[in-house]
Structure formats: C-alpha cells, structure tokens
Amino acid sequence: EAGVTQSPTHLIKTRGQQATLRCSPISGHTSVYWYQQALGLGLQFLLWYDEGEERNRGNFPPRFSGRQFPNYSSELNVNALELEDSALYLCASTRGQPHYEQYFGPGTRLTVT
Amino acid sequence: RKEVEQDPGPFNVPEGATVAFNCTYSNSASQSFFWYRQDCRKEPKLLMSVYSSGNEDGRFTAQLNRASQYISLLIRDSKLSDSATYLCVVNEMDSSYKLIFGSGTRLLVRP
C-alpha cells in the first residue's frame, strides 16, 4: 500500500512570493491534516480537511490556506511568504475519524530567502 | 502550561538498557493517545497507539493513566536503531479534533 506522498520535496522561495505544496493521502483515507515544523520546534497543527471541507485550522494567519480535491488529495497555499515560514511542512492522512492514527508523508521543506 | 509536556532529554543509554519516557497532558477530555518516533529531519512515524489497558508491541510497552493524565513508553533491550526523538501525541476529541504533539524526548543509544 502506497503511503502519503508530498511534493515538492524542497521548495525555495523569496519573501513575498506564494508557495503551493501538495499532498496525496493513503488510498481510502479521506482526511488530510497539515502541520508546520520549524527547525528545532515541535509540530504545529495548521489545517484539517475532510470530505472536501475545511474542518478546523490552527493558530495561523489567513495567508495559510488550502483545499481538498474530490480525490482527497490536498493543496496548501502560503501567500506573502515571510522568512519565518521556512519550515518542514508535513501532511498526514487518516481514515476520516479523528481518533484514528495519522500517517505522515515525507514533508516539503520550504526555505524562504 | 503546555498542552502536552515531555522531558526533552537527551537520554543517553547503552545498548541493552531499559529506558522509560513520560508525558503529561492538560486536557482531561483527550481521548486518543499515541507515541510517534521521528528521526532527524524525517517525518514522524507511528510507533503505537496507547490504550487504557496498556499495550505492548515487542520491546515497547505503553501505559495510560487517565486519572493522572499521564502516558508512558518503556523500551526494553535498547538497540542502536532506537536512537530517535519520541513524540507523545494526544488527540483532543472536542470540536477541534486535532493532534497535539509534545516537543519530543530525544534518545541516544550508544554501543
């Protein structure tokens, strides 16, 4: 069974630009979660999508947004990039019930210069 | 107070040692609990879920104490490959439905 995939692996942008990160969940999983992990820090919850709808978001500004497509893949968009947005962005999928285990993709490392 | 607290370590132990990690959580409404391991600059990988009755998977044993809001992970017969950061994770089952990650406990197993 294929795991969660994310693209690109690395992304370098300059301040003020926009970044788009993509995630494909495990087959049969309908929920996608996005997390940010800045260097040396813990994972911070960003967004949760389930069945195409945004169900919850963490304490991040509105320039962090995303969507979920009918095939359950998801996209995270970060507008007006700031230096502190440099981090590893992780996507996780689960079967849809929040209490189920989440499985993570390898992440996209975003560097903002 | 942090929502999920862990001793950051590092725990530096010899091969074959037994090591225990503890974790406390602040939200008594939390319903699901997990241990993940994360290798340097890699994604977290699920190690095990933690059930009220406690559970064991080979050399790993997890315990949950709801009254004290405390979770533990015991690793027996440590291997070099166990060196990683261990993340205590709590799933809040209120309207937020999100995982809360502890900052992790780093384990170094030396030959």
Residues A2-19: pLDDT tens digits?
A: 899 999 999 999 999 999
The phi, psi pair for A85, rounded to 5°, reads -80, -10
Q: Contacts of residue B49 in chain A, CB cutoff 8 Å?
A: 101
Give the pLDDT of residue B97.
Answer: 64
Residues in chain A, how many?
Answer: 113
Query: Which tens digit of pLDDT belongs to each residue from A31-45?
Result: 999 999 998 788 999
Mean pLDDT of all residues in A85-106: 87
Query: Smallest Cα–Cα separation from A41: which of A8, A6, A79, A88?
Result: A88
Identify which of A33, A41, A104 has the shortest CB distance to residue B43. A104
Quick check: B111 and B13 in contact, CB under 8 A? no
Q: Would the pLDDT of A1 be above 70?
A: no
User: Are the beta carbons of A88 and B97 separated by less than 8 Å?
Assistant: no
Q: Would the pLDDT of B2 be above 80?
A: no
Give the pLDDT of residue B94.
Answer: 64
Query: Which tens digit of pLDDT belongs to each residue from A44-73?
Result: 999 999 889 998 898 999 999 999 999 999
Six-digit token pair at B87?
Answer: 């993340």
Query: Smallest Cα–Cα separation from B61: which of B45, B70, B73, B52?
Result: B73
C-alpha distance from A31 to closest chain B C-alpha (Å): 11
